Amino acid sequence: MQDCKKVVLPELTEAMMLQLFGKESTVKNEEQLREFIRDTLAQQKFETDLIKSIEDLLQKVKTQSMQVIIPRTLIEEEFATRMKSLQERFGGQEKLTSYFQQMGDEKGKAFLDDIKKAAKESLEKFFILQKMVEALKIDINWEKPGALEVETKLYEKLGESHEHGHHHDHGHHTHHEEKAEKQSPAKKKK
């Protein structure tokens, strides 16, 4: 045996709360810490459920009601952005190239194809989301939307529609083909 360790948890004192959360925080004692954890977990669950429900809705609209044609140049632009982000995460082009070499040609090509497919799907969802927001007259600042603002407002609007007895059945309408104009999509969580 070379080493033996024991985890010693700190006491949940006011001094520890100050060290963990800072002066401005409302978390000052163990009870407030537990409340903070409960609220954080509830918020995370809400956000996860929200993203899933909006993803499911966009998938239904995409398969049943609307065809989105994304220009190849826009897909290439989104693909390049994702590759640049990947390169930064790996710590430079050299390290990324080395990683691809270790994967081998076949796996490397499949990996790149997956990134391109994800870029295309992301753009399709963005344009469908934009069209739905427009159709439902939801006010969004597309230049600087808040975190999950679009999804939350859409979720709330659809909830209002159901409460007022309106039901939007996307599967029974004849929709025209949407051509995505060349534009820079607003920053979104990826």
Phi, psi of 9 (to 5 degrees): -80, 145
Model pTM score: 0.60
Contact 88, 142 (CB under 8 A): no
Give residue for tokens 């609220």. 39
Contact 148, 47 (CB under 8 A): yes
Contact 104, 38 (CB under 8 A): no
Spatial separation of the C-alpha atoms in residues 148 and 166, rounded to whole Å: 24
Query: 185, 77, 88, 75: which is closest to 128 by C-alpha?
Result: 185
Per-residue confidence at 84, pLDDT binned at 50, 70, 90? very high
Residues 95-104: what's their mean pLDDT? 88
Task: Convert the pLDDT of each residue in 14-63 to its tens digit.
Answer: 888 888 888 888 888 888 889 999 999 999 999 999 999 988 988 888 88
